Amino acid sequence: MGIAFNRINFTFRSFLRQNLLSSRIIKRTFYGYSKEPFQPLNREPKWMSAEEAVQIIKSGDTVFLQGIAATPRKLVPAMVEHAKKEKLKNITVCHIHTEGAAEYNHPDCEGIFRSNSFFVGGNCREAINSGRGDFVPIFLGEIPFLFHREIVKPDVALVQVTPPDNHGYCSLGSSVDCTRAAVQHSKVIIGQVNPRLPRTFGDGLIHKSHFDALVEGQLELPELKPPKLTDVEVTIGKLIADNLVVDGATLQMGIGSIPDAVLASLKGHKDLGVHSEMFSDGVVDLVESGCITNHQKKIQPGKIVGSLTFGTRRFYDFMDNNPFIMMMGAEYVNSIPVIASNPKVTAINSCIEIDLTGQVVSDSIGTRIYSGFGGQVDFLRGAAVCHDGLGKPILAMPSLSSKGDSKITPFIKQGAGVVTTRAHVHYVMTEYGIAFLFGKNIRQRAHALIEIAHPTHRESLEKAAFERLKCMPSP
């Protein structure tokens, strides 16, 4: 009797679900016991327009948005237009750095949407610093735990994926990071299918049967053009490459001018590996010249390991269907024990300012939120506790800001946040040299940092150090 009832109940539920799906998306009920996106299900997603797909979003929902180059730019404006048309309210849009207009942050969307950034991009800064958006201080490697522990409960996930392969698998492409975790815990998954997105291997494969709706959305990806390096950046890159990067090192270098300058100076190195939450075009030349082999790595030997990327079309083509690259979840890539298992971990990060005791500000300029924690602390710590004892945690920056102010300061600005504590800091570098702070007391740290400050600021920094410490800074 029980078995017969269960079969009837299952048949009724299947019938009900199929009929409801024929008219609109419903919240998913097809998981039996597993939320594993690799698992093929006996289910076909519905193909529909972006306008139809976002109809499921309602007032009070939490919407997860995939970020960086994989931001689903066909779905975002459709979501905003739907919410305006239906007069929806109090929708939270959570994400890391996204690309594009971020229409949900515009002033006319106040009360309709409120963004909640786990890492802040340029399209969110004005909203956050004007009080219309929010910022969560969090390590990149811990963002997936917000979903796994149900601290953040997404109702809808908007993601961008490659077309299904012959086995039915789509790829999250260039941005796996926290996206996989968000997809696992979202009630509805909507995918923008874009053949221009690079197909990548690793954690980012999702069987098409897990999508509630698929939308045709071929668009060119946003590109990050390599910047023209300044003389200061070239000098810093060469100093790091010549003095701190050794053959066989495992690199974490992020994205930006200084990482690019370092990579451009490594063409004489051998057997380099890459295990980095972010990377970009700079690795391509080093792979093609044979400098990056990943041969000595202990974690995923022979492969570049990353979590999110942003670059040019050439870079995306290099990534596409390339088994040399593994794109993994941030909870794995940024795990300190995982990082520390690799040889000669060399973590290269930058910052906004550092005070004379070694406190590092990376996410804010005074009270103004600028970016986020990202993977800086994860990788600096991983390098510091590297199992072979040969890791190098590096903070590199120009000595001056774009306004000519010293980035080495007596005190951090009022309201600024310390991302990396003075106990985390080992190597600090400007174009004037390298300061090694590990094991040094406050007086010695001040002396070492003043020596690599811009010459026009050294006298004032020395006076400020004396006033603060009540003694002269000295080695």
**Is 277 among the catalytic positions?**
yes
DSSP 249-261: PEEE--SSHHHHH
Closest residue by Cα to residue 348 from 446, 288, 264, 223: 264
- Summary count for the chain: helices (H), strands (E): 15, 26
Residue 20: how many other CB atoms lie within 10 Å: 11
396, 444 contact by CB (below 8 A): no
CA 424 to CA 220: how far, in whole Å?
40
Q: Which residues are within 8 A (CB) of 422 and not within 5 positions of it... i.e. 6 or more apart?
A: 357, 358, 359, 360, 437, 445
The amino acid sitting at 175 is S
305, 275 Cβ separation under 8 angstroms: yes
Nearest alpha carbon to residue 172 among 195, 153, 197: 197
Cα separation, 213 vs 54, whole angstroms? 9
Instruction: Pinpoint the alpha helices (H) of 289-326.
Output: 313-319
C-alpha closest to that of 161 among 122, 233, 219, 118: 219
Cα–Cα dist 201/328, whole Å: 8
Give the active site residue among 103, 277, 331, 431. 277
Report, as residue numbers or ranges, the catalytic residues.
Answer: 277
